[in-house]
Structure 1
């Protein structure tokens, strides 16, 4: 197969004819050299020469046949979690190849109608699929035949294609796959994974999370919808790596077994408490003024709680927003006990003289002790910044005060209703509660693994509020780490100069994202935060933020872009518009005939036939190619301009997948409530589920019902 300007592999393997002829000639020269007038010695040499040339032609024919086979069906690629390679230098993605001009050229050639016979499935395959549809509801003897033709085994010549859809051409244009990976030092630039629903985003997340856990790094996973297989995978990998004691589950839908977390309990500056709460309120139009009022009152309450020696949480803040009089009285007692012990006697005397007639109009509706405190402070002119702040709050008319904090109360209600309050406002003094309490700095210091299930399908509003609070807390922790390091405040012997990689995986991150997310990806890299965000389309981000400029700001902070199948052209163009154009060669057959004008000439006409090769500039890939990607395949745009075509491994369950009884129960309910079998596209091929790729069987086979709770 000589080298030509145009590579052509979608054609008959004509090299087989040469190989067969060489085999015959070698046999003849070896067994009957006299038939071709050769001596035995020379015949042996000729046989060797024919044999070597025949092997060369056979290898060339095998390349053509292998290319044609890959165009129609890719070899199955599945790994157990134990088989996923773990490296301290690179992040394993799957198998694939770097997309170049050659692959664009092959893709253009494969779309030629003249080679359609090599692209389409053989007629026997098509006939078997028609037979399966016709005999689906037939009587039992005939019903076995479709099961036989749909048998998913390499021994079945009529084996159906895997149910991944899309165009097999996109990966079949390169039969020589290699291991596709991303340098770990590129992850700090953050990674954005885009793909429509049920095309493999969560499976890709499992591959990444498995490696993060086995590398011993911090791994934090936000899962708004609740994926039982993802939770199971995280626990199993934590146990296999010997890190099950560092595994935490926070789940709003199952507070009975969830860890507890106070989103406003840790801060560098007390003003961060107000910023994390008021930052979730709308700042558009007239709402901006109400958000500023809410920030001020929350900040006043937080400062008072700190002075009283109480840790702020959502319940305390809601209690004092609704009734700030009680906090004003409590703080005044604390203040006067230290600075003026006799003041309280005068305040009690003033309180006894008050009645409805001598209470100022703006103080009506307040407790008499609050009015007495206000009168005493007006007379004595005591200065204390916290006391003055509380005093300014109670001096507002009660009705007016309720109006300006009206936007704050719904948010606090979302975070403090029902059992959610037990998780977000933990009682640190309740020693009978076995559920642990964690904060992000603690998790980072001990290299923890955290699964955050936000139960967004049940209550999207609460899920978004909690997710935003956690992101705001992480931003604060990132600022602390950036300034002081992870081990700030620990003894010198316990400190280390090595930066801790903090892997943050945000599935469906458009549901969690707010203004808090932007500084996290914009400046979090300096603290070691490596964000991998998963969502469907660009429109999801823009709709969540409500601003195209902010959406562009978010997208601009992701250095690595991995795109599975998408349905929105604008999302596909995010990748294709960053790629260069390349020149592909096209072949044009030109033929013609010309009559001879001279009747005396010896020729009546002349004819010509030309095979022209021309170069045409085309995009490296087009949006239509991304729209037609099969499930489990993606384009990865990484390392400053390299485009890789990859496919992720299908999951193969291992026999030792075991979880504690409480997590088994949680995973079972999550699968029943959230997941549908249609999403597990790798489980079935053709007629039904296969044993090798059934996550359900892999999950249940290794989990005894009486597993001891850890």
Structure 2
């Protein structure tokens, strides 16, 4: 089956089997009746061995043809349990596949030619079996059992149905010699982007990567694993816990879930910072900065910064509840800080302020201070007469000098964001009470997680409330960017005894549907976070999702341009597929054309009546290495991977083997069951604000009774 010719043709009859049959017959004749060939028994034995050797070679060639024709229609099953996932200290296992080159483009182009259709399309008996299966579905009981025989998934069933993967099996079946595809760990710091439409294997690929990240040990230490899951995939949570327990890391496993605050860990997004201005940046950074909103965003930043500085000076840790409280009522913070300041610097000043307060009435209060507390007005009058310089006090003073109505208008864009982050039980998660020692829920921050080499699952319950999910996810990203900047400068052990500057660990961040969580701060994370050891693997559906979230095409291109590794599963948007195909070169593919003709002789007395000729012509055509249509037609669980400096690999991921939930604690089992009930496809979750049919169950009985009583008189009048 050697192919020394320029044109390789594997879609053809296995004509080598004829040679095999002749060699087998000749070998049998040499052994049984060597005298018929004028051979001695010894020479007959040697001739039989020669025939068998040549027949075995031709049988191997025929087996390649038969395997290739089979792979074009149906790929071999590829299943792997989580225990069998290889974990290397130098490479990341992706799946099985091959490096795509000109040969595979040539073979793929051949499968679309009409003369090879019978080798590519399902056989007639297969199509007949599927038609019978459809008709037997509604047949009476004895005949309906025949349908189960037709669908029996076994190699002994010649008409068993194809796996429910869709797509074109030929995209992977054109290569027989596939092997393990791995990515060097040194390439992961360049970040990876996984693109694929709904339900094509993005989460399975995430499970494969996360499994290895949790179990990997480099230099005797585990790596940090942080997973953002907006939708709430129960199988992903289960896989993370099982792998953490298998690696002996269940004590370092944290679950943060907005949908289950009673069992969730707690997290303060603004409680830890290197510079006090980071608090304002993390909060105001989530506000819109487009058009006229830019001025309000800048004022919100300044106002939050003033509050944060005052809280730190008072010895209080900033959190969303405190900031919201003082945004609504800045007077209380101004009074509290003034008491703190004058107690240290001018103890007698407070007596004068109390006297000024006693003289105030509605007539002598300045117009811009109407609506403020009298003590605030007295403080302002005292500070205007006495020269006291304190940057925090001056900032608070400038805030209270605004007209109350005007002030409420310019902070109007900030209050809705704070309301999202401090409503209901979510406030307990995002503004934890550090002094409550009776609360068993742990409190974590990113620096603590990185130092402990912990595993964190962040479930944002986006189906229940997409607005809150996006706000919390964005604030966590912003906090992580700040921590990465600190690690980049000082290392992870800064401030600890015996710390070494510059010590870094691998921080594996997996962000599913990351376009719904990211903001402007995501760009510096992927642009400069690699220096701090941050390795981002982002999962989304299309490029339009990123552009729609950022609202700027140039910034969307900036985000995508910072991902060095690209894994492209099946997509439905041609522009997304072209992100891969436009980066690939064109190659020459060869095609044969049969040319034949005949020419009559013009000489009636000549010996030749006509002449004929037949030619085989080989032509080459320049075509793209792969087309966007090939990306759109990928089966589930398969992808094109552009890794290691632009090398194109065709990969298929192993199908998962189910694991029981019994390995999980009871509370996590309940959480997983809740997530399975509320899980929806990624393309729908941000369009839904609840589960149909569950809204009424969420209302208390007393509210339902009140509603019925209110509705009864209206129905009677109607």
In the alignment, what sits opposite 1:114? 115
The alignment status of 1:487 with 2:493, answered yes or no, reads yes
Matches within 5 A, 1:183-198: 183-198=184-199
Structure 1 portions without partners, runs of 5+: 680-710
Corresponding residue of 1:689: none
**Helix, strand or coil at the partner of 1:590:** strand
Decide which moves more: 668-677 or 520-529: 668-677
> Which aligned segments of 4 or more residues in structure 1 are displaced greater than 6 angstroms?
676-679
Q: 2:363 aligns with which of 351, 357, 360?
A: 357
Match of 1:250 in 2: 256
1:535 aligns with 2:548: no
> 1:579: which partner in 2?
584
Number of residue-to-residue matches in the alignment: 678
Query: Given the alignment of the two structures, is residue 280 of structure 1 paired with residue 286 of structure 2, yes or no?
Result: yes
Quote the residue 2:568 is aligned against: 563
In structure 2, what is the Cα distance between the partners aligned to 1:457 and 1:511?
12
In the alignment, which of 264, 268, 273 is matched to residue 274 of structure 2?
Answer: 268
Q: Aligned residue for 2:155?
A: 154
The separation in 2 between residues aligned to 1:237 and 1:656, in whole angstroms, is 12
Aligned 8 A contact 2:191 2:535 in 1: yes
Greater CA deviation, 603-612 or 265-274? 603-612
What residue in structure 2 maps to residue 475 of structure 1?
A: 481
Q: Which residue of 2 aligns with 1:631?
A: 636
Distance across 2 between alignment mates of 1:398 and 1:374 = 15
Matches within 5 A, 1:134-533: 134-215=135-216, 216-492=222-498, 498-533=503-538
Measured in 2, the distance between the counterparts of 1:375 and 1:2 equals: 98
Unaligned 5+ segments in structure 2 are: 217-221, 685-718
Structure 1 residue 496, shift from structure 2 partner: 8.4
Deviation at 1:499, TM superposition (A): 2.3
Q: Report the counterpart of residue 99 of structure 1 in structure 2.
A: 100
Contact 2:91 2:185 in 1 (8 A): yes
* Bigger Cα displacement from structure 2, 595-604 vs 301-310: 595-604
**In structure 2, distance between residues paired with 1:16 and 1:677:** 51
C-alpha distance 647-7 of structure 1, shift in aligned 2 (>3 A): same
Q: Which moved more, 1:28-37 or 1:363-372?
A: 28-37
Q: How does 1:16-55 map to 2 (within 5 A)?
A: 16-55=17-56
- 1:175-220 CA-to-partner distances (Å, cap 9, x unmatched) read 1110011001000000000000000000000000000000121000
Note if contact 2:488-2:502 (Cα within 8 Å) is conserved in structure 1: no
Cα offset, 1:105, TM superposition = 0.7
Taking the aligned partners of 1:373 and 1:198, their CA distance within structure 2 comes to 62
- Show the counterpart of 1:702: none
Query: Residue 261 of structure 1: CA displacement?
Result: 0.3
In the other structure, the counterpart of 1:694 is none
Q: 1:9 maps to which residue?
A: 10
SS of 2:596's partner is: strand
- d(CA) in 2 for partners of 1:355, 1:151: 91
Cα distance between partner residues in 2 of 1:595 and 1:499:
85
CA distance in 1, matches of 2:234, 2:377: 56
Deviations 1:664-705 (A, max 9, x none): 0000000011147999xxxxxxxxxxxxxxxxxxxxxxxxxx
Distance change (3 Å), C-alpha of 1:540 and 1:59: same
Deviation at 1:653, TM superposition (A): 2.3
Measured after TM superposition, the shift of residue 242 of structure 1 is 0.3
For the residue of structure 2 that corresponds to 1:331, the secondary structure is helix
Deviation at 1:155, TM superposition (A): 2.6
Q: Deviations over 1:557-611 (max 9, x none)?
A: 0000000000000000000000000011011111111111122222221111111
| Aligned counterparts of 2:273 and 2:299: Cα–Cα separation in 1 | 21
Distance 1:195 1:483 in 2: 36
Query: Following TM superposition, by how much is the alpha carbon of 1:497 offset from its aligned partner in structure 2, in angstroms?
Result: 6.1
Separation in structure 1 between the aligned mates of residue 667 and residue 20 of structure 2, nearest angstrom: 65
- 1:146-190 residue CA offsets vs partner (Å, 9 max, x unmatched): 111112222322210001100111000001110011001000000
CA-to-partner distance for each residue in 1:93-139, whole Å, 9 max, x for gaps?
01000001000010011111111111111212111111111111121
Alignment partner, residue 602 of structure 1:
607
Q: Distance in 2 between matches of 1:670 and 1:201?
A: 18
Q: Distance in 1 between matches of 2:605 and 2:662?
A: 92
The answer on whether the counterparts of 1:236 and 1:657 sit within 8 Å (CA) in structure 2 is: no
TM-score normalised by the chain length of structure 2? 0.93
Alpha-carbon displacement from aligned partner over 1:384-415 (angstroms, at most 9, x marks no partner) = 11000000000010001111111100110110
Choose 443-452 or 113-122, whichever is displaced more: 113-122
Structure 2 CA distance for aligned equivalents of residues 233 and 329 of structure 1 = 52
Write out per-residue CA displacement over residues 424-473 of structure 1, whole angstroms, 9 at most, x where no aligned residue. 00010111111000000000011000000111111111111111101110
Distance 1:567 1:272 in 2: 40
1:88 to 1:337, Cα distance in 2 relative to 1, 3 A: same
Query: What is the CA–CA distance in structure 2 between the aligned matches of 1:655 and 1:432, rounded to whole Å?
Result: 33
SS in 2 for 1:519: helix
Contact 2:586 2:624 in 1 (8 A): yes
Counterpart Cα distance in 2 of 1:257 and 1:399: 41
Out of 537, 552, 564, the position equivalent to 1:547 is 552
CA distances 1:289-334 after superposition (whole Å, capped 9, x unpaired): 0101100100000000000000000000000000000000000000
Deviation at residue 613 of structure 1 after TM alignment: 0.5
Q: Distance in 2 between matches of 1:225 and 1:654?
A: 21
Label 1:180 to 1:397 Cα distance change in 2 as closer, same or farther (>3 A): same
Alignment of 1:631-670 (within 5 A): 631-654=636-659, 658-670=663-675
CA deviations 1:520-575 (Å, max 9, x no partner) are 10110000000000000000000000000000000000000000000000000000
More displaced, 650-659 or 310-319? 650-659
State how far apart, in whole Å, the 1-side matches of 2:542 and 2:390 are: 52
- Bigger drift between 538-547 and 603-612 goes to 603-612
| Contact 2:451/2:492 (<8 A) preserved | yes
- Measured on the aligned residues, the alpha-carbon RMSD in Å equals 1.4
Of 167-176 and 121-130, deviating more is 121-130
TM-score, normalised relative to structure 1: 0.94
Does the residue aligned with 2:598 lie in a helix, a strand or coil?
Answer: strand
Q: Alpha-carbon deviation of 1:35?
A: 0.3
CA contact (8 A) 2:192 2:564 kept: yes
Give 3-state SS (helix, strand or coil) of 1:634's partner: strand
Helix, strand or coil at the partner of 1:192: strand
Residue 613 of structure 1 corresponds to 618
**Structure 2 CA distance for aligned equivalents of residues 661 and 423 of structure 1:** 21
Secondary structure, counterpart of 1:189 in structure 2: coil
Give SS of 1:85's match.
coil
Displacement of 1:39: 1.4
